[in-house]
Amino acid sequence: MGDPIPANLEPYVEVLGEDLAITFFLNFGGAPAYLSENPRSGSDLSQVIGPEKVKALAETLGVGQLYRVPINKAWIAQRLKARGWSVLAIARELHVSDVTVRSYLRTEDRRQLSLFEKN
C-alpha cells in the first residue's frame, strides 16, 4: 500500500477507498461539507462520491454534522507518484510548485539525524 494513511484521513479512506478518497479530498479538501443520512442526488457531494458513499461517511463520522474536509497534499502526492504520475502532473493537480511536490516526495527529513547512522 505504501505510506501509512494519516489519522485524520483514515476514516475517509476506509469508507471511500483510496481512489475515491483522493478525488473527494481534491474536490472538497479545506471546505466544510454537510453529511446527511438522506443526501440529495443533486448535491455536490453526491455528484462526486455518490449518495450511498455520502450516507456511509455520515454513519462513520456522524449524521447531520458539518465537517471541514481535511486535505493532506503530501500524502496525496505520495499516492499519485506511486501510481506513476510525474512530478509536474502532481504539481498541477495539487496547485503547488514542482519544488513543493519534490519536498512532499522526500522519504526522509534530511534535517533529522539518524540514530543508526555511522560517522
Listed residue (54, 20, 19, 59) closest to 40, CA to CA: 54
Per-residue model confidence as pLDDT tens digits over 72-93: 999 999 999 999 999 999 999 9
Between CA 117 and CA 81 the distance in angstroms is 28
Q: Rounded to an integer, what distance in angstroms lies between the CA atom of residue 52 and that of residue 39? A: 8
Instruction: List, for residues 6-48, the tens digit of each pLDDT value.
Output: 999 999 999 999 999 999 999 999 999 998 888 888 999 999 9
